[in-house]
Amino acid sequence: MPRVYALTSLLVLSATALAAPAVLPLKLPSGRALTAELMVRPEDRQMGLMFRPSLPADRALLFVFDGLDFHGIWMKNCRFPIDIVWLDEQQRVVHVAAAAPPCAKEPCAVYQPLQRALYVVELNAGQARREKIGLGTRLEFTLPR
């Protein structure tokens, strides 16, 4: 009987881990809108882009934190460079780390904003510049209730 329980537990955990995050539209300063995957749960925020082969050009990740802080982002097990954008509570850009490279060896670099942030957006490298994302610009989104 313990083997059946272990297998059932593994299947339940696997199904939970594979559950797709909610998505929402993310409007950029350029006027373009991306589909943003919502990273709210700690386990989703921790996983981020780990092990993904790429990020489609029309997608982004939106990390939602519990409060304003200097939220650090690392590139462990990420396979491609990204732009990391930190936003304050008004969804205004407070910091951008452009083309953050994947972590080649540990310890991995931790990227942090110069100001406290409530949200972090991850985009493909170079996309922040192309979409006119800079300090003080606003990215627009509405979180589900």
The whole-model pTM stands at 0.85
Instruction: Give the domain extent around 93.
Output: 20-130
CATH of the domain at 81: 2.60.120.1140
Average pLDDT value for residue range 19-43: 92
Evaluate whether residue 12 is within a structural domain. Answer: no
Quickly state the pLDDT bin for 19 (edges 50, 70, 90). low
Average pLDDT value for residue range 118-136: 97
Token digits of residue 32: 């373009």
Please check the confidence at residue 82 and state whether its pLDDT lies above 80. yes
Evaluate whether residue 5 is within a structural domain. Answer: no
CA quadruple 100, 55, 128, 110: dihedral sign? negative
C-alpha span between 50 and 80 (Å, rounded): 10
C-alpha span between 1 and 55 (Å, rounded): 42
Evaluate whether residue 2 is within a structural domain. Answer: no
Evaluate whether residue 140 is within a structural domain. Answer: no
DSSP secondary structure, 43-108, as one string? HHHHHTTTT-S---TTEEEEEEEEEEE---EE-TT--S-EEEEEE-TTSBEEEEEEEEPPP-SSSP
Evaluate whether residue 26 is within a structural domain. Answer: yes
Overall domain count for the chain: 1
Residue 115's H or E segment, with its range, is: none
